[in-house]
Structure 1
Amino acid sequence: MRGRLDHINRDRLDNRLENLRECSASENRMNSSVRSDCISGLKAASFDRRTGRYKAVIRMTGRGGRRKYLGTYKTAEEAHRAFCKASQERSSAFFSEATKPEA
């Protein structure tokens, strides 16, 4: 279901038509920034206290919003890279450059 507008450059004040595109709620979340309460500072990399490792999870559209477990990793950067790869394969049009790991 569509009906939302997404700011391509993620600047909410930039309402030029060429910066707006119609999207679903899920697609809009793909283009979001890292949450302010994110301890690792990287999207989708959360620390699992039980294992002492970082885990990566992605939400699947069209499957009732279920999560797909991507694995555990030694570092937050590795978990983030796994998320970025899965996210880009899923919908490269809405994958935000700002969520890609540093080279």
Structure 2
Amino acid sequence: MPKAQSLLPLSRLRTLFDCDCARGTLTFRPRTPADFKPVPRLSAVAAAKAFATRHAGKIAGRSDSGRRRVNVDGCRFWAYRVIFALCSGRDPGEARIDHRNGDSADDAYSNLRPASHAENIRNAKLRKDNATGARGVFFVKRTGRYAASIHVDGKTHSLGGFATLDEAKAARVEAERRLFGEFAPSLSRPADAMSESPGTK
């Protein structure tokens, strides 16, 4: 899995963006002439004024598969990584940033936390092709029963067979809380306690 991209220095990010930690948004700050190279018919001063007119105070970034990316100084970053850095005062480095509630469009700082790749996957939303509405739970036609399993550290562990879907879901949730800790989906999203499945960010 590729490593997360390092951000620009915090001092630079603070000159580029204003960050609303509660809402999880970045807005462009005005630029100075030093940020621009003069080109024919457009001086650095004129470029800075044009940027202020077109962008200053406006939401930064563009939507990319439901998440926002920002382009600055020739680099592209996920907006939530920049928001985490500005609100926490530290670059997340190689860590992933997990959205606690599973909504990758909700970049409020309170919804962001550093995570390993494995932890990030554990807290992802249910896949659309899931047949039972619960991760790690499937129906076995041969036996007419439900089976539950959980994948940890590269290995799949059986949680047993169950007469009902609810029993299988409950076994899966218990195993998630025991093995995944704070990254168990049922803790982040109680309403969806039995309706999660892996994904990536």
**CA drift at 1:80:** 1.1
Alignment-derived partner of residue 16 in structure 1? 108
SS in 2 for 1:55: strand
By relative contact order (CA 8 Å, sep 6+), the higher-ranking structure is 1
Give the number of aligned pairs: 97
Q: Confirm whether residue 42 of structure 1 aligns to residue 131 of structure 2.
A: no
Q: Is the 8 A contact 1:42 1:77 kept in 2?
A: no
Question: Which of 79, 95, 98 pairs up with 2:168?
Answer: 79
In the aligned structure 2, how far is the partner of 1:73 from the partner of 1:79? 6
Counterpart residue type for residue 127 of structure 2: R
Larger radius of gyration: 2
**CA drift at 1:6:** 0.5
**CA drift at 1:32:** 1.8
Alignment-derived partner of residue 143 in structure 2? 51
Give me the TM-score of the superposition, normalised by structure 2: 0.45
Q: Confirm whether residue 6 of structure 1 aligns to residue 102 of structure 2.
A: no
- Percentage of identical aligned residues: 34
Q: Please list every run of 5 or more consecutive structure 2 residues that lacks an aligned counterpart in the other structure.
A: 1-93, 195-201
In the aligned structure 2, how far is the partner of 1:91 from the partner of 1:23? 12
Question: Which of 166, 185, 190 pairs up with 1:96?
Answer: 185
**CA drift at 1:3:** 2.1
Q: Is the 8 A contact 1:45 1:77 kept in 2?
A: no
Counterpart residue type for residue 41 of structure 1: G
Give per-residue Cα distances to partners, 1:17-40, cap 9 Å, x unaligned: 221111122211221222211111
More helix by share: 2
Q: Please list every run of 5 or more consecutive structure 1 residues that lacks an aligned counterpart in the other structure.
A: none
Runs of 4+ in 1 over 4 A off after TM superposition: none
**CA drift at 1:91:** 2.3
Q: Is the 8 A contact 1:55 1:72 kept in 2?
A: yes
Give me the TM-score of the superposition, normalised by structure 1: 0.82
